[in-house]
Amino acid sequence: MSISSVQNANHSSSAATASNTKNTPATNSGTSFADTLSSVSNGTPYSDDEVKAFFAAKPNAKQIADKAAALGLTEDQIAQAMTVGGFEGSKGQGALKTQIESYVATASNGFAWDANGVLTPTKSTAQGAAADKVMPAAADIRAFYATHPTDAQVTEKVKALGLNAAQMVQFQATGIGMNMNNISAPVLETMYVDAANRLGTDIGGGKHGGWTSYFSPTLGRAVTKSEIQTFFATNPSQAQVFQKASELGLGVSAVNNMMIGLGVTKPQDMNSAYGQMDFALYQGKDGYSLDPYGHIVPGGGHVFVSTDGSNGSWRPRTPGDGSALTATA
């Protein structure tokens, strides 16, 4: 399966992000973050609202760096984004830049500034980091795709480079100019499973599901079976499962498949388990919902507004709804 055959797929769902007291979005930060993106190297549009939603999820330093590198941001642009997002109360551009420079200067964090001042990963953190091959430069990948390779030629190239399935996903996305952050969760899941099949990589399960490894866009690598086993060994609640999924940037299908692959959910319960999680996310009853790309995120959801006790309609959840599943207006 070619990445180009799935790039336009989209999983639509209403979503919003939860508010928090530490990362309070700036409401009057001068120049908007959107305005600073006119010179971003990959030309990806990214609004102030998206920035605020990202920081509302309380990302750690690695997640911020991954996002900045994916968008092709400079130090000034990262600091502006942190200000708009209200990171740690918006300390001011000087203090934020000091933090950024300190993080990037620590070699073990795996980031550096390229010749154009854009934040760039210096090493791959895809599955089995110690054995990973270095990813080719983005320009070289795009040059290869400019020759209009067939699926077989792409697979041959990736094998020749010694890349793994997670890196193949990144290789394909880079080749056709797709921003990883704008690829829907179902498409990423399909791409990763397809890459594993083409490379002969064992990710558990079979041809139709039960896979125990998935590509995590927030980590930039595959989540391994052992990591998921360790998590589920704690007997997490549904809310905790959603929280973990949101941290990994996963969707419902990936979570459902991994739970089946680990034996947490029985194969015959696949559809009912999926439906239960999907509806809970639509409601936002556990504090999580789906974003427009099908990723599980904090906040959002819907409440049912009854008109006569039985009939009614759904509307987006508001802060005033609390944890209620129904409303009168």
pLDDT tens string 196-212:
999 988 887 766 678 88
- Supply the pLDDT for residue 34: 53
Burial grade of 253 (CB within 10 A; 0-12, 13-18, 19 or more) = buried
H helix intervals, the chain:
33-36, 48-56, 61-71, 75-84, 93-105, 138-145, 151-161, 165-175, 185-199, 225-232, 238-248, 252-261, 270-283
Averaged pLDDT, groups of 10, the chain, 329 residues long: 40 34 40 47 61 82 83 85 77 80 79 80 44 80 94 95 92 89 88 91 75 86 87 92 93 92 89 94 93 92 83 88 81
Please give the Cα distance from 211 to 222 (Å, whole number): 12
- What pLDDT, on the 0 to 100 scale, is given for residue 77? 87
User: What is the pLDDT, as a whole number, of residue 52?
Assistant: 84
Q: What is the pLDDT of residue 8?
A: 36
Q: What is the pLDDT of residue 110?
A: 78
**DSSP symbol at 132:** P
State the pLDDT at residue 99. 86
Residue 233's Cβ-count burial label (10 Å; 0-12, 13-18, 19+) is: exposed
Tell me the two tokens of residue 245: 């999924």
Question: What DSSP string describes 142-204?
Answer: HHHHTT---HHHHHHHHHHHT--HHHHHHHHHHHTT--GGGS-HHHHHHHHHHHHHHHT---S
CB neighbourhood size of 283 (10 A)? 19
